[in-house]
């Protein structure tokens, strides 16, 4: 109808309606501009944006394997440097590729200090292959490999703290963002690209299909994660937390209740001890990052 | 179709895939309520909401999947989701 697309990430991609990863891709490219080379790991974003022979990308884009996007990006950065070229390089991966399968190559690239930005869109499980748990899946979430039932309340392990692991590599800029706050995400992508050295950005990307909510609620769920303290938006520069999004916190059940993956905590009966454990995760986050806004009484 | 080592595709070729056929609900834009803030265009996962010369949103129904995010997030309730009639 209008004929012209809105940006460098073309429509016609096959993401689910209301997909947070698609919103993230659009915003990232909007921030990065056309002089950017993108390396994608295997995952939802790779699959829905490039079913051969189609591609939604209007910048140079390459996919090789699940585990090696940081290694491919390292090679591209080294080649551009040798040629004296100034294009920016972004490596993209889901949480499965980033937290689990690609962490070896990611650690290597950060340790070698290549000048690139790694962006993880974190939907907290392997969504592309059918909602299997990953190192990013939060405590008690039900997935197909951590199903809740009579003997289990879902995923038994806490979410891995990957931003801190990468900060420990000496990364100059590490930040978390959410698709619920797109202008903030855009600013952080710009800042990461402007910072020399390996930078890491982790973007919370609620998945309507995997988490079990309606596609129109994607941003609302993202906001609730932040408002309950279960996701914290912060920036770390040279290993120190320099900026944090503060909130007037809501109880965690405001967030949990909206999603099928936590349904077992409320039906058939409320599981108070487990809800209290998740509240404790939020309380620890709040204390560690100082996110609480103190209201005057 | 032969898949050689290292296959390539032309930039933005996904545009040939018209995802509008996926839609069950259709966003209707109420121009008299719209404040032209542009939020709908920003949040659309497809990126298929453009602006006309006056800043009013113009959705491309060839690609809109009808997810309803624009209607949900619109601060002026200027977008209504209506059942698609085919």
So what's the pLDDT on residue A18? 97
pLDDT at B3 over 80: no
Q: Cβ of B58 and A218 within 8 Å?
A: no
The model's confidence at residue A4, banded by pLDDT at 50, 70 and 90, is very low
Residue A50: its chain B contacts at CB < 8 A?
Answer: 9, 14
pLDDT at A154 over 80: yes
Q: Cβ of B60 and A2 within 8 Å?
A: yes
Best residue in B46, B66, B74 to probe A by mutation, most A CBs within 10 Å? B46
ipTM of the complex: 0.93
Fold held by B30-83: Alpha-Beta Plaits (3.30.70)
Domain coordinates in residue numbering, chain B:
30-83
Q: Cβ of A11 and B9 within 8 Å?
A: no
Give the range among A5-19, A69-83, B24-38 with minimum mean pLDDT: A5-19
DSSP conformation letters of chain A:
---S-SSSB-TT--PPTT-HHHHHHHHHHHHH-SSEEEEE-SSHHHHHH--TT---BSS-EEE--SS-HHHHHHHHHHHHHHHT---EEEEEEEHIIIIIITHHHHHHHHHHT-S-EEEEEE-SSBTTTT-B--TTPPTT--BTTB--BTTB-S--SPPP-HHHHHHTTT-SEEEEEETTSHHHHHHHHHHHHHSSS-EEEEEE---HHHHT--GGGHHHHHHHHHHTTSS--EEEETTEEEEE--B-PPPTHHHHTT-GGGGGGTSSS--HHHHHHHHHHHHHHHHHHT-BPPPP-
Using CB atoms, pick whichever of A16, A182, A214 lies closest to residue B42: A182
Q: Cβ of B65 and A17 within 8 Å?
A: yes
Best residue in A3, A4, A7, A12 to probe B by mutation, most B CBs within 10 Å? A12
pLDDT by residue (tens digit) across A249-268?
999 999 999 999 999 999 99
So what's the pLDDT on residue B86? 67
pLDDT at A297 over 80: no
pLDDT at A276 over 60: yes
With CA atoms as reference, the chain B residue closest to A9 would be B12
CB distance B67 to A216 below 8 Å? yes
Q: Cβ of A11 and B73 within 8 Å?
A: no
Q: Cβ of B67 and A17 within 8 Å?
A: yes
Residue B39 touches partner A, C-beta closer than 8 Å:
no
Residue B73 touches partner A, C-beta closer than 8 Å:
yes
Q: Cβ of B19 and A214 within 8 Å?
A: no
Using CB atoms, pick whichever of B45, B63, B67 lies closest to residue A12: B63
pTM confidence score: 0.96
Using CB atoms, pick whichever of B19, B49, B69 lies closest to residue A215: B69
So what's the pLDDT on residue A294? 87
pLDDT at B7 over 90: no
pLDDT at B1 over 80: no
pLDDT by residue (tens digit) across A5-45?
568 999 999 999 999 999 999 999 999 999 999 999 999 99
Q: Cβ of A53 and B71 within 8 Å?
A: no
So what's the pLDDT on residue A16? 97
The model's confidence at residue B60, banded by pLDDT at 50, 70 and 90, is very high
pLDDT by residue (tens digit) across A194-245?
999 999 999 999 999 999 999 999 999 999 999 999 999 999 999 999 999 9
Q: Cβ of A15 and B45 within 8 Å?
A: yes
Residue A23: its chain B contacts at CB < 8 A?
Answer: 43, 45
So what's the pLDDT on residue A231? 98
Q: Which domains, from first to last, does chain A contain?
A: 20-289 (3.40.50.970)
So what's the pLDDT on residue A2? 40
pLDDT at A3 over 60: no
So what's the pLDDT on residue B63? 97
CB distance B43 to B73 below 8 Å? yes
pLDDT at A122 over 70: yes
Residue A218: its chain B contacts at CB < 8 A?
Answer: 45, 67, 69
pLDDT at A172 over 80: yes
Residue A22: its chain B contacts at CB < 8 A?
Answer: 45-46
Residue B63: its chain A contacts at CB < 8 A?
Answer: 11-12
């Amino acid at each position: 109808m209008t004929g012209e697309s809105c940006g460098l990430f073309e429509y016609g991609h096959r993401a689910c309606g209301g997909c947070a990863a698609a919103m993230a891709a659009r915003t990232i490219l909007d921030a990065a501009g056309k002089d950017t080379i993108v390396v994608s790991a295997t995952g939802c974003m790779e699959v829905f944006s490039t079913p051969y022979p189609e591609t939604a990308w209007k910048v140079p884009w390459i996919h090789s394997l699940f585990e090696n996007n940081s290694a491919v990006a390292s090679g591209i950065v080294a080649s551009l440097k040798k040629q004296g070229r100034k294009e920016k390089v972004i490596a993209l991966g889901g949480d499965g590729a980033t937290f689990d399968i690609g962490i070896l190559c990611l650690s290597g690239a950060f340790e070698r200090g290549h000048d690139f930005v790694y962006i993880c869109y974190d939907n907290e499980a392997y969504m592309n292959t059918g909602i299997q748990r990953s190192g990013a899946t939060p405590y008690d979430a039900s997935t197909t490999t951590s199903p809740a039932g009579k003997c289990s309340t879902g995923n038994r392990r806490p979410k891995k703290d990957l931003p801190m692991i990468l900060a420990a590599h000496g990364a100059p800029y590490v930040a978390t963002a959410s698709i619920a706050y797109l202008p903030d995400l855009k600013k952080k992508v710009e800042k990461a690209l402007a910072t020399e050295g390996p930078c890491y950005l982790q973007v919370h990307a609620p998945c309507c299909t995997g988490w079990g909510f309606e596609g129109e609620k994607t941003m609302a769920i993202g906001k609730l994660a932040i408002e309950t303290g279960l996701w914290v938006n912060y920036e770390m520069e040279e290993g120190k937390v320099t900026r944090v999004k503060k909130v007037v916190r809501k109880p965690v059940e405001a967030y949990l209740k909206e999603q099928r993956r936590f349904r077992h905590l409320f039906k058939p009966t409320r599981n108070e001890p487990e809800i209290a454990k998740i509240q404790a995760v939020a309380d620890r986050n709040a204390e560690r990052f100082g996110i609480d806004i103190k209201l005057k009484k | 179709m032969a898949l050689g080592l290292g296959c390539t595709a032309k930039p933005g070729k996904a545009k040939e895939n018209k995802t509008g056929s996926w839609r069950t609900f259709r966003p209707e834009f109420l121009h008299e309520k719209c404040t032209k803030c542009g939020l709908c265009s920003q949040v659309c996962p497809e990126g298929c909401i453009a602006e006309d010369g006056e800043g009013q949103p113009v959705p491309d129904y060839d690609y809109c999947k009808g997810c309803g995010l624009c209607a949900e997030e619109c601060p002026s309730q200027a977008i209504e989701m209506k059942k698609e009639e085919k």
